[in-house]
Structure 1
Amino acid sequence: MRNIRNFNQCLLVICIIFMGGISTTFAQNLSKFLEIKGTVIDQNTKDRLVFTDLIIKGTNISTVSNIDGEFLLKVPAKHVEGVVVINHLGYEKKEVDISSLKGKIKIALVPAVTALDEVNLVSRPGDAKKLVLETLSKKSSLYNNSNTLMTAFYRETIKKRRKNASLSEAVVKIHKQPYANYRKDNIELVKARKNTDYSRLDTLALKLQGGPFSNLYTDLVKYPEFIFTEDDIDDYEFSFGESTNINKKMVYVVNFKQTAFIKEPLYYGKLYIDAETLALTNAVYSLNVENKHLASQMFVRKKPRKVAVHPTKATYRVNYRTQNGKWHYAYSNILLSFKVNWKGKLFNSVYTLNSEMAVTDWEIQDSKFAKLKNQMLRPSTILTDQASGFSDPEFWGEYNIIEPEKSIENAIAKIKRQLKKS
């Protein structure tokens, strides 16, 4: 089933759990930094804007707004007189002095109007498929071609219906290889924490195998073989959607889906391509899970015999940022939903697994990466097996993290109460 199967089987393991509790605490010496919290909204509709980039101008320090449109940005003392640049696809870029960001902050972005005049329509490529192929061929010239050490925050959650059952978080270092070569990236674990409420998982634990690697592999420019290869690109249909823009630059929108005669599960979604450079700026796509049997084979590696499992949703997002004229991987999100049926039981269980990873800082490495075998994760890693314990927010120190969504905040509050009791 091609490389697609290899990609998705990095994502999920279903197995019988062991019962047990963990209560390890951590301490962290904090240096001076300014912590800014706020919300990004649409100026006209007041809707909250998710996955918005916030970057300290002139640096590689950044964060991203969560699904509630909220953000948390930790600014080192030496940059408190600087500027925050806010970017969101389809909106005008905004720059705000850090010194003005006090109290309850709401940053309103203005929708960017894309004028589809005759010039734009004529200049748009006539063949969407050729545009995608040309975009993928430009990774050597448009994307970062230096060894890059990225600091990233990673979070994965598992919910049984609407209740959080498992929460794992980590700060990692991504040893990002140049886009021009075919060497795979490596990930180094810096620190991690977790909490699992086994009472909400029945006798099953759903675990994401791959951890941060699963999100890293959504980088379509670095790893196009997981979706589009020369052998299977003809299995897709490509068409143009309505163009949008970012930072007042036009962005082509290319829709893609599997052709009607292909029966095995493939992907469908949208690719956002910068009209001037033809760089891929964003991608949002999903796996076709209509064939329950084949879709289940692509994800489930291990399960009890009396359990039937099939995915009901599998969606992916990857965002790129540009710095000094070069693009690089910046953020990705994976959302998977599964229905679990026990033989002989009247009701089924629905689990949702979500993982996201945001690059919060990075630097060019002049020399080759050192091999730190003890700290390096493997693509087969299950993060919940690598982490232990949970603690207060100061655990992360000055590391920039993704602000928790409301439901996760409630889960964290409950964890804190449990720790105080123990």
Structure 2
Amino acid sequence: MRFLVFSFFFLCVHFVKAQNQQANSISGVIIDREDSAPVQFAYLYLKNYPDFSALADEQGEFKFFFPSQFSDETLVISCIGYEKKEVIISSLSATANKLSLQRQLLSLNEVMVMPEGNSIEEMISKAIDNIPKNYPDKRHQLRGFYRKVSTNYEEFTKLVEAAVLVEDVSYQKDGYSGAC
């Protein structure tokens, strides 16, 4: 039995060690070249292997994982409203990279935002009706961001994007009189 436990432990350690040798990562922050403000939700991907990708967070911080055989590939950083930037991965350090993007003026002919099916008043009414079912007894905050980008590897062809912040600092469930 001891031999079996020891063997299992040895295999687990070996597996974890092998995984660490096969994957590399780089991390850093993406900033605006003009005012050094963080670029929120910038998209990072390998130029020749776009399935390896990452998304920067609200502070522009990112952590990008890639297989070690791609360490000489080109990393592309893009965000709407900024010029695309290409960087060779081997020129970056593993941590504390500061990558700056140059602003780019975009002009759109027309943008239409329309809900599918229901009117906006209906959707808001339904959301308010569901507050007692969804909120806990304590203060609640929900942040969400969704982005679906379609490209032809040269330019953006379609973008679907949504951001939401819901906060209710004074909500109390029925019968609950404690402080939030």
Pick aligned residue for 1:317 from 145, 169, 172: 145
Distance 1:303 1:37, change over 3 A: closer
**Residue 84 of structure 2 corresponds to residue 93 of structure 1:** yes
Whole-Å separation in 2 of the counterparts to 1:316 and 1:64: 14
Shift in Å, 1:98:
0.5
Per the alignment, residue 28 of structure 2 pairs with 38
Distance 1:303 1:32, change over 3 A: closer
Per the alignment, residue 416 of structure 1 pairs with none
Q: Which amino acid aligns with 1:110?
A: Q
Pick aligned residue for 1:109 from 101, 106, 130: 101
After superposition, the C-alpha distances for 1:163-192 in whole angstroms (9 at most, x for unaligned) are xxxxxxxxxxxxxxxxxxxxxxxxxxxxxx
After superposition, the C-alpha distances for 1:115-147 in whole angstroms (9 at most, x for unaligned) are x5xxx7xxx35xx55xx67xxxxxxxxxxxxxx
Whole-Å separation in 2 of the counterparts to 1:303 and 1:331: 25
Whole-Å separation in 2 of the counterparts to 1:63 and 1:79: 15
Distance 1:37 1:344, change over 3 A: closer
Shift in Å, 1:68:
1.9
CA contact (8 A) 2:151 2:157 kept: yes
Shift in Å, 1:336:
3.4
Q: Which amino acid aligns with 1:228?
A: E
Helix, strand or coil at the partner of 1:78: helix
Shift in Å, 1:56:
1.0
Shift in Å, 1:94:
0.3
Whole-Å separation in 2 of the counterparts to 1:77 and 1:338: 45
Helix, strand or coil at the partner of 2:172: strand
After superposition, the C-alpha distances for 1:286-318 in whole angstroms (9 at most, x for unaligned) are xxxxx7xx64422443789xx6x998x776532
Distance 1:328 1:112, change over 3 A: closer
Whole-Å separation in 2 of the counterparts to 1:47 and 1:37: 17
Per the alignment, residue 177 of structure 2 pairs with 345
Give identity over the alignment, percent. Answer: 21
List runs of 5+ in structure 2 lacking aligned partners.
Answer: 1-11
Per the alignment, residue 269 of structure 1 pairs with none
Matches within 5 A, 1:179-258: 227-229=115-117, 232=118, 235=119, 258=120
After superposition, the C-alpha distances for 1:60-79 in whole angstroms (9 at most, x for unaligned) are 10011112211111121111
Distance 1:79 1:328, change over 3 A: farther
| TM-score of the aligned structures, taking structure 1 as reference length | 0.32
CA contact (8 A) 2:150 2:159 kept: no
List runs of 5+ in structure 1 lacking aligned partners.
Answer: 1-25, 134-226, 236-257, 267-290, 350-422
Distance 1:106 1:330, change over 3 A: farther
Q: Which has the higher contact order (CA 8 A, sep 6+)?
A: 1
Whole-Å separation in 1 of the counterparts to 2:27 and 2:160: 20
CA contact (8 A) 1:320 1:327 kept: no
Bigger strand share: 1
CA contact (8 A) 1:63 1:72 kept: yes
| TM-score of the aligned structures, taking structure 2 as reference length | 0.67
Distance 1:91 1:329, change over 3 A: closer
Distance 1:315 1:38, change over 3 A: closer
Count of equivalent residues: 159
Per the alignment, residue 382 of structure 1 pairs with none
Matches within 5 A, 1:129-140: 129=112
CA contact (8 A) 1:44 1:110 kept: yes
Shift in Å, 1:337:
2.4
Per the alignment, residue 4 of structure 2 pairs with none
CA contact (8 A) 1:296 1:310 kept: no
